[in-house]
Amino acid sequence: METNKSKVRLLLVDILDQPIKGLQVEIRSADRVWHRASTNASGVLEFTSAQGRDLVVHVEHWVTKQMKPVAKFFAGLDDMAIKLVSPKIKTKVAAEPAGAPGLYLRGTYVVKKGDTLSRIAKAYDIGVDYLAKINEIQNKDALSIGQILKVPPVKNRSTQPQPHAKPVGTPPHSAIDAKKAPTTTTGQSTTPRNQTNVEGKPVMTLPSEQSAVIFPFSVKPLNEPGGSFSWNDWRKIHSPNAACFGATRKRQGGGIRRHAGRDLYAVDLTEVYSIAAGIVLRVSPFYCATDQVSIRHTTTDGREFIVRYGELDPKSIRLKKGDRVAQGEVIGKTGILRDGSGKKIVVTRNKNVSMLHFELFSGKAGLDNADNLSAGGEYSRRSDLVDPLAILQEGYLNTFKEGAPSLAKADAGERKPATSLRLSEAGEAFIKDYEKLRLAYYEDHLGYCTVGWGHLTGGKTSCASQNIKIGTSITKEAAQELFEEDRRKHENIVKRAITAPLLQHEFDALCSLAFNIGDLIRKAPNLCRKVNALQYSEAAVEFLDITNNGNKGLTIRRQQENAMFLRANYDSTH
């Protein structure tokens, strides 16, 4: 049961960075509405939810008045301040009586000979994609001399295009004036310099067109649902695995320490990108024949912190101390962990895998020196070490234009009575992948006669007692008929146990569990009770406890059924 709380302060502004007041907002998870209210005069909404939740921000559409999902985030911190930028302007602006077409409150720029879209974007501290979007430019390489572009806001309207210069007013995605800046729910300022919450963790700014941070890979990590190392999911919180922040590790020379970062698995020599602009503070050897690069980052929305990019291939690093790096610049490539003899080291399940070891330091202990990041304590790191999950989640969303897998996924339709559902094709494929097809009769580990996709012939009895010769084969068509018989049986087990409405993927996950353990009422009473009490997220946690005292195979299956139940993820890799 979740007990920790996330206190959240949400600031909503329009594209001109003006607070959106009086906007109806709902904060939802998959199973409930956590908060419903309107933003105050400062465009701020405060609420509290259980920590570890995937939450979706819904706002009222200004025309239809329907609630529309606009952003997703993960409530993984005790105290969070989030800024959400709307690409639209709610406030009506009076038209200029004799204004020429193409001149806007946000300012304009006339394209000159030699201009490129990237050069103009850089001059105004905005992203190329954002500049192209507000000007409806399809081909970013095709500008015309004399073309008028909309650029970030200026204090007053002008009848003359703006020159190449920093805009006078506040760019749409920079930090707002300190007097108007929101604070965390405990009253701490979230103004731009070293913007952190009470735990020293960077404040997340949800992205619009311009990204404050990006993900350090251009491809998704291998250790997330759907990846070939999904069991070491980099996003876990309450039950950390080897790739997660806080996981238990052995110290060299004896003793225990905690994992100081999050590991993102990748194919060997995958390029690693700078998540934001910054300056290199240190390049040095790291673990097991790899190097590290420590960078002091300053984001476009004013946050400052240090990131240590660890376990990089030494030959791939071209940076040195003092170098300035741009967002998206290649820092190096993921290295290969080797022992002193040059032999590859086993990382997980008898496999070696290349990775980025990503550490985050809030800067409370200093932003100018990265020579002291390795220190004492349970993490063997400097005192301002923090969990980098929020930053990585933010970058993931910006880079892949979708929430990181732990972020809330919109439900496909409404929940329906369990009695009206049947196992989907995806659910059937998941179960079959685990049960495996065997066309010859055999006896399982308990001595029960079995054939097809785990079908027990004659119940829990041996083959000999049924006059069946072990090794005798049936056709695949016959095996499918037996599976249909088992499908109906286990669907009915779920329907007898569950009185609450279900989404399709929730029903499929329960069917998979029933295929594996049988009677849910008797063998998973807590899970059934929580589902029937509409506590869907809490019920999902119960899957993880049904592992026959930590059986490795069952642990993996339960984790995957948990992911199916929560996020419609049908990954059966094992």
Q: What domain range includes position 331?
A: 230-400
Given phi > 0 = left and psi -120 to 50 = alpha, else beta, which region is 107?
left
Residue-level pLDDT at 96: 38
- Domain limit, last residue, from 135, 154, 171: 171
Go through 418-451 and write b for each residue having 16 or more CB atoms within 10 A of its CB, e for each that does not: beebebbeebbebbbbbbeebeebeeeeeebbbb
- For residue 554, the surrounding DSSP H or E stretch is helix 552-567
Catalytic residue among 339, 444, 485, 519: 444
* Whether 117 and 89 share a structural domain: no
**Residue bearing tokens 């090794």:** 471
Tens-level pLDDT at each residue, the chain (574 residues): 345 777 888 888 876 667 888 888 988 876 678 888 889 888 888 888 877 777 888 888 765 677 777 777 777 677 777 878 765 544 443 333 444 444 334 567 888 888 888 888 877 767 777 778 777 788 878 888 888 887 765 433 333 333 333 322 222 222 223 233 333 333 333 333 334 443 444 444 443 345 788 999 988 899 888 788 888 999 887 667 889 998 887 776 677 888 999 999 998 899 999 999 999 999 999 989 999 999 999 987 778 999 999 999 999 998 999 999 988 889 999 999 999 899 999 888 888 899 999 999 999 999 999 999 998 888 999 999 999 988 898 888 878 766 656 543 334 457 889 999 999 988 999 999 888 899 999 988 888 999 999 999 887 889 988 989 999 999 999 999 999 999 999 999 999 999 999 989 999 999 999 999 999 999 999 999 999 988 887 888 899 889 888 888 898 899 889 888 887 778 787 7
**pTM for the model:** 0.44
Residues 6+ positions from 38 with CB-CB distance below 8 Å: 22, 23, 24, 25, 45
Residue-level pLDDT at 81: 78
CATH number at residue 135: 3.10.350.10
* Whether 387 and 518 share a structural domain: no
The answer to whether residue 408 sits within a structural domain is no
CB of 314 within 8 A of CB of 226?
no
The answer to whether residue 410 sits within a structural domain is no
* Whether 270 and 363 share a structural domain: yes
* Whether 443 and 469 share a structural domain: yes
- Domain limit, last residue, from 400, 430, 460: 400
Q: Phi/psi at 515 (nearest 5 deg)? A: -55, -35
- Of 564, 567, 543, give the one whose Cα is nearest residue 555: 543
* Whether 561 and 429 share a structural domain: yes
The answer to whether residue 222 sits within a structural domain is no
* Whether 112 and 48 share a structural domain: no
Mark whether 519 is an active-site residue.
Answer: no
Q: H helices of 141-183, where?
A: none
* Whether 325 and 344 share a structural domain: yes
CATH number at residue 524: 1.10.530.40
- Domain limit, last residue, from 366, 400, 434: 400
Token pair listed for 399: 């880079």
CB of 77 within 8 A of CB of 199?
yes
The answer to whether residue 218 sits within a structural domain is no
* Whether 261 and 376 share a structural domain: yes
Cα dihedral 49, 50, 53, 54 in deg (nearest 10): -10
* Whether 259 and 393 share a structural domain: yes
- Pairwise CA distance, residues 91 & 20, whole Å: 8
Given phi > 0 = left and psi -120 to 50 = alpha, else beta, which region is 6?
beta
CB of 283 within 8 A of CB of 319?
yes
* Whether 127 and 3 share a structural domain: no
- Pairwise CA distance, residues 141 & 66, whole Å: 39
- Pairwise CA distance, residues 420 & 136, whole Å: 47
- Pairwise CA distance, residues 171 & 175, whole Å: 8
CATH number at residue 89: 2.60.40.10
Catalytic residue among 435, 486, 508, 561: 435
The answer to whether residue 409 sits within a structural domain is no
Residue-level pLDDT at 105: 45
Token pair listed for 294: 């420590």
The answer to whether residue 302 sits within a structural domain is yes
Residues 6+ positions from 393 with CB-CB distance below 8 Å: 73, 74, 76, 204, 235, 403, 404, 406, 407
* Whether 163 and 181 share a structural domain: no
Mark whether 323 is an active-site residue.
Answer: no
CATH number at residue 334: 2.70.70.10
The answer to whether residue 412 sits within a structural domain is no
The answer to whether residue 217 sits within a structural domain is no
- Domains held by the chain: number: 4
Q: Which amino acid is present at 242?
A: A
Residue-level pLDDT at 121: 81
- Size of the chain, expressed as the number of residues it contains: 574
DSSP string, 328-383: T-EEEEBB--B-TTSPBPP-BTTB--EEEEEEEE-STT-SS--TT-S-STTTTS-T
**Residue bearing tokens 């007041």:** 21
Token pair listed for 42: 């400062």
* Whether 438 and 340 share a structural domain: no
Residue-level pLDDT at 323: 94
